[in-house]
Structure 1
């Protein structure tokens, strides 16, 4: 029971503010012990690390691996030179200590409010979606290998964040959610959702739930939504 409790509370608060930015996250596990994990890690010079990971498998083995990965990431992140080094060091530790066949997909980003940039690296994780104005595009990049499979280097990418943007990190439990007609929620519906100015992490989870209908949830679903605080304030004024 202690493991279940830890699995449900291991992540930080689902809302957080950084100067000029607002973060929201939602996590809905498919079972008692989830294999998805997200975190916010304060770094030096006012920067903030954003982490989203999806551990292979389900149940207790996935929860235990998730717990170990969380500890490694939180210890490595403040010492590494950038996201690529974080993923490389976590990957090597998993190769040294985790049984063959277990792996983790992860996206690790560093938000720098001073320069309004996000630098990120991916280890086999779905591409983030960014929306500037009404234009949504995936941040196509070298997706990299999942962690724990092979020795690998991880490329870093930097995106400039304008004053009217939304950036979505998500696990495949979002895009691959199924309804009773065996249809996936898919990238098109996800893109349309991000394009809406009133989108939020909680509204996305509600949309996924409505789409599934009576179909059971097959996989953990987790999302991090980063947006301009100016956009949030403007929407609040309109809604009022």
Structure 2
């Protein structure tokens, strides 16, 4: 599977920043779970690189991101160690880290969508790769920690925000819009949906059974049909 000629290049600083924030949030997760230094490091690396690794494996990519940036590996290792041994500094930055984490996830969604588009995949798979890249690392981290991944529980929009951003990118990219505005649209949609879901406490539902409503609508429809049938017979 070869790459397409049109590729959206994200500035290296922004690209690295998204991974660094992902690694930091993963390491903080490990600290809150009282993991040892190895556990904190693994949690950090899974969060920062996990989604991209899964994406590249599914794409059959020759340029696996994790294997192409050894300097970023060393930086990520240093962040995990600093977080473990100086956690008091980082644990007090909850609000700032929440904002940075949301931006990081938005950039991950963009990275996944744009790389899938560059490989010539259909719009559906462009969206899927964007979501996998954005939430895959966190899901792997939670699974390794023995807890249900956050994306499977009712919560403020997280995966849904990434889905919206990936859809925005795919829609614009396949419509022939320049990839730079499409990339900005992806990031903006993720940030907007995430912010609005927290601001107005929009949550995905853990249970949704439409059976009673469908059954009620079916009964109402049958009653109307019977009434009409009787009216016609009287005529």
| TM-based fold match above 0.5 | no
Flag the structure with larger Rg: 2
From the two aligned structures, give the one with the greater strand fraction. 1
TM-score (ref. length: structure 2): 0.28
The structure in which a higher percent of residues are helix is: 2
With normalisation by structure 1, the TM-score equals 0.28
Greater RCO, 1 or 2 (C-alpha within 8 Å, sep 6+): 1
